């Protein structure tokens, strides 16, 4: 009986940790989406500097989500690549191209948010 109690207790603890990890992933993805949307708005207005700031913050958040996952999903990995491209182009003051990459990153971030 003691063994069954311990197994149940450990199972509940593992489930709780798993739920906490999933909540953290979801929050990071939500924050990444919020910053990418703001970057997109600034990019469409031609504001490369503001686009850069928000794309960088979005990248930080999506990387944190990927780190929290046991194996990052394909949409997460693809969004990271597009955000890196957006950042590179924003640094060169190519707001239009950076915005296109931000839009692509957002598509994949939204996809990631629905499969978690």
Domain ranges of the chain: 24-115
pTM greater than the 0.85 cutoff: no
Percentage of the chain modeled with pLDDT above 90: 70
Q: Which residues contact 10 (CB under 8 A, 6 or more apart)?
A: none
Q: What integer pLDDT is reported at residue 25 of this predicted model?
A: 66
Model pLDDT for residues 30-51, shown as the tens digit of each residue: 999 999 999 999 999 999 999 9
CATH architecture of the domain 24-115 equals: Up-down Bundle (1.20)
Q: Supply angle C-alpha 53, 103, 74, rounded to 5.
A: 100
Place of tokens 């990052």: 72
CA distance linking residue 65 with residue 89, whole number of Å: 24
Q: Whose CA is closest to 70, among 22, 10, 7, 14?
A: 22
Q: Which residue has the higher pLDDT, 69 or 64?
A: 64
Model pLDDT for residues 9-24, shown as the tens digit of each residue: 444 444 344 334 444 5
């Amino acid at each position: 009986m003691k063994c069954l109690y311990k197994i149940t207790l450990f199972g509940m603890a593992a489930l709780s940790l798993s739920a906490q990890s999933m909540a953290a992933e979801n929050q990071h993805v939500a924050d990444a989406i919020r910053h990418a949307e703001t970057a997109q708005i600034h990019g469409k207005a031609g504001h490369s500097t503001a686009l850069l700031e928000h794309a960088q913050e979005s990248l930080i958040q999506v990387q944190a989500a990927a780190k929290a996952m046991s194996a990052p999903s394909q949409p997460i990995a693809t969004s990271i690549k597009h955000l890196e491209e957006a950042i590179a182009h924003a640094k060169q003051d190519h707001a239009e191209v950076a915005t296109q990459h931000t839009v692509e990153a957002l598509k994949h971030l939204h996809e990631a948010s629905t499969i978690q």
